[in-house]
Amino acid sequence: MLSLLIAANLQIVTSFICDPNVLECETTLIIENYLTMIHERFSTVFASKGKLFRYNVKNTTTAKPIPVNEVITADGWEKPRIVTVINRTLPAPDIIVYEGQTVIVHVINKMHSDSVTMHWHGLHQRNTPYMDGVPFITQCPIFPGQKFTYKFQAYPQGTFWYHSHSGSQRSNGLAGAFIIRKRERDPIEEHIMNVMEWNHDHDSLAQTLHYEHKVVVDRSPQPSSMSHDGMIFGNMIFHSALINGRGKYYDDRSIMHHNDAPLEIFNVRKGFTYRFRVIASGANFPFRISIDGHFLTVIESDGYSFEPMVVESFIINPGERYDFLLEAIRPIGNYWIRAKTLEEKRHIEAEAILRYNGAEHIEPTTERGHCSEYDPCRVLNCPFSSFGFIKGIECIPFDHLRSDREDDEAPPFVPGQFQEHFLNFAFTGRNPSVNGNVFRLPSVSALTQPQEVENRCHGGCRVGTSCKCTHSLQIDNRNTVQLVLSNLGMGAGWFHPIHLHGHSFHVIKMGYGIFDEKYGFLLEQNKDIDCSGGKKLSNDYSLCYNATWRDQSWLNGNIPGQELKRAPRKDTLIVPDGGYAVIRFRADNPGLWLMHCHIELHSMQGMAILLNESFPFIPRPPKNFDYCNNFDASDVYLH
- The mean pLDDT of 545-564, rounded to a whole number, is 93
Given pLDDT bands bounded at 50, 70 and 90, which one contains residue 8?
Answer: very low
Looking at residue 162, its pLDDT comes to 97
From 119-123, 260-264, 452-456, 546-550, the region with the lowest mean pLDDT: 452-456
pLDDT digits (tens, 9 = 90+) for 291-315: 999 999 999 999 999 999 999 999 9
Q: Which residue has the higher pLDDT, 97 or 259?
A: 97
Q: What are phi and psi of 278, to 5 degrees?
A: -105, 130
Q: How many CB atoms lie within 10 A of CB 609?
A: 26
- The mean pLDDT of 602-624, rounded to a whole number, is 80
Give the separation between CA 10 and CA 108, rounded to whole angstroms. Answer: 10
Q: Spell out the residues 6+ positions from residue 538 whose beta carbon is closer than 8 angstroms to its own.
A: none
- Residue 521 scores a pLDDT above 90: no
From 13-17, 305-309, 522-526, the region with the lowest mean pLDDT: 13-17
Given pLDDT bands bounded at 50, 70 and 90, which one contains residue 538?
Answer: confident
Looking at residue 126, its pLDDT comes to 94
Looking at residue 204, its pLDDT comes to 56
Looking at residue 230, its pLDDT comes to 53
Cα torsion angle, 33, 166, 450, 106, sign? negative
Q: Spell out the residues 6+ positions from residue 7 whose beta carbon is closer than 8 angstroms to its own.
A: none
Give the separation between CA 511 and CA 560, rounded to whole angstroms. Answer: 11
From 217-221, 300-304, 536-540, 567-571, the region with the lowest mean pLDDT: 217-221
pLDDT digits (tens, 9 = 90+) for 86-96: 999 999 999 99
Looking at residue 231, its pLDDT comes to 57
Looking at residue 210, its pLDDT comes to 54
- Residue 205 scores a pLDDT above 70: no
Note if the bond before 156 is cis, omega within 30 degrees.
yes
- Residue 514 scores a pLDDT above 60: yes
β-pairing, 334-341 with 349-356? antiparallel
Query: 618: closest CA among 586, 585, 595, 593?
Result: 593
What are the DSSP E strand ranges found in 488-619?
496-500, 505-511, 514-515, 522-524, 529-530, 548-549, 569-570, 572-575, 580-586, 591-597, 608-613
Contact status, residue 454 vs residue 517, Cβ threshold 8 Å = no
Contact status, residue 133 vs residue 149, Cβ threshold 8 Å = no
Given pLDDT bands bounded at 50, 70 and 90, which one contains residue 49?
Answer: confident
Percent of the chain's residues with pLDDT above 70:
85
Residue-wise DSSP of 203-260: -HHHHHHHHHTT-----S-----EETTS-B--S----EEEETTB----TTS-TT----
Looking at residue 247, its pLDDT comes to 93
Looking at residue 167, its pLDDT comes to 85
Q: Convert 372-402 to b/e letters by CB count within 10 Å (16 or more is b).
A: eeeeebbbbbbbbbbbbeeeebebbbbbebe
Give the separation between CA 624 and CA 513, rounded to whole angstroms. Answer: 51
Looking at residue 618, its pLDDT comes to 64
- The mean pLDDT of 194-222, rounded to a whole number, is 61
Give the separation between CA 390 and CA 456, rounded to whole angstroms. Answer: 47
Q: How many CB atoms lie within 10 A of CB 595?
A: 23
β-pairing, 287-291 with 296-301? unpaired
pLDDT digits (tens, 9 = 90+) for 454-513: 788 877 677 666 788 899 999 998 899 999 999 999 888 888 999 999 999 999 999 999
Given pLDDT bands bounded at 50, 70 and 90, which one contains residue 634?
Answer: very low
Looking at residue 225, its pLDDT comes to 58
Q: How many CA atoms lie within 13 A of 484 on its CB side?
A: 26
- Residue 197 scores a pLDDT above 60: yes
- Residue 207 scores a pLDDT above 70: no
Query: 523: closest CA among 231, 223, 227, 226?
Result: 231
Q: Which residue has the higher pLDDT, 301 or 210?
A: 301
Q: Which residue has the higher pLDDT, 342 or 346?
A: 342
- The mean pLDDT of 161-177, rounded to a whole number, is 92
Contact status, residue 531 vs residue 585, Cβ threshold 8 Å = no
Give the separation between CA 151 and CA 125, rounded to whole angstroms. Answer: 10
Looking at residue 187, its pLDDT comes to 87
Given pLDDT bands bounded at 50, 70 and 90, which one contains residue 553?
Answer: very high
Q: What single letter denotes the amino acid at residue 498?
A: I
Given pLDDT bands bounded at 50, 70 and 90, which one contains residue 215?
Answer: very low
Looking at residue 229, its pLDDT comes to 55
Residue 274, CA distances (Å) to 60, 214, 263, 301, 632 in order: 35, 47, 20, 16, 49
Given pLDDT bands bounded at 50, 70 and 90, which one contains residue 619?
Answer: low
pLDDT digits (tens, 9 = 90+) for 386-444: 776 677 888 899 999 999 998 999 999 999 999 999 999 998 878 899 998 999 998 88
Q: How many CB atoms lie within 10 A of CB 40?
A: 9
- The mean pLDDT of 98-113, rounded to a whole number, is 95
Looking at residue 1, its pLDDT comes to 32
Given pLDDT bands bounded at 50, 70 and 90, which one contains residue 612?
Answer: very high
Give the separation between CA 8 and CA 271, rounded to whole angstroms. Answer: 46
Q: What single letter denotes the amino acid at residue 209?
A: L
Given pLDDT bands bounded at 50, 70 and 90, which one contains residue 227?
Answer: low
